[in-house]
Amino acid sequence: MEEKKQFALGKEKVSAIMRAFLERVEAAGYFVGLYGSASSLTTHTADDIKSRYTIWLAHWVNQTSYGGAYGIWQHSEKGRVDGINGNVDLDIGYKDFPTIIKGKGLNGYGAEPVLPNPPLLRRRTASRSRSRLTGRSAAVN
């Protein structure tokens, strides 16, 4: 949420709207995070939302003063990339999101199977085997 008109609803209503959206997307099987400015996260986002979902913090400074937890920090909107005209956002990710998403089976990935410990292989010293072609038995080590 970024519109002043939305923020005018107050923290409780804004948080209820956020919560409804986040829960709906999560229930559909997707990894969910919340993007917001340091200001909006502090003044208009309930603590339960900030603790349950990954925060993508938009705070365009050299060192953020935001006191909450976040998984991604967008520290600038003035980055440059060859081949792209104009500015791009610069972000730092602090979590391994592909591993988290795949491990939870979200975003279209099936849950990773949990493999049991493989059984110990026992070495046979000798056994009898009957050849299908000759009908003769032979010792096998």
How much is the pLDDT for 3? 78
How much is the pLDDT for 28? 95
Task: Quote the DSSP letter at residue 45.
Answer: S
Per-residue confidence band for 5, with pLDDT thresholds at 50, 70 and 90: confident
How much is the pLDDT for 110? 84
Q: Which secondary-structure segment (H or E) carries 137?
A: strand 137-140
Look at 5 and 97; give whichever has higher pLDDT.
97
How much is the pLDDT for 141? 38
Give pLDDT tens digits for 97-137.
Answer: 999 999 999 999 986 565 666 656 555 544 444 444 444 44
Sign of CA dihedral 16, 18, 21, 26: negative
Which parts of the chain fold into alpha helices (H)? Answer: 4-7, 11-27, 38-44, 47-52, 97-103
Give pLDDT tens digits for 7-65.
Answer: 899 999 999 999 999 999 999 999 999 999 999 999 999 999 999 999 999 999 999 99
pTM over 0.75: no
Q: Do the beta carbons of residue 90 and residue 74 sit within 8 Å?
A: yes
Whether the per-residue pLDDT at 74 is higher than 80: the answer is: yes
Q: How far apart are CA 77 and CA 61, in angstroms?
A: 10
Q: Which secondary-structure segment (H or E) carries 34?
A: strand 33-37
Six-digit token pair at 43?
Answer: 């003044």
Which domains does the chain carry?
4-140 (3.20.20.80)
Q: Backbone phi, then psi, for 39, in 5-degree steps?
A: -65, -50
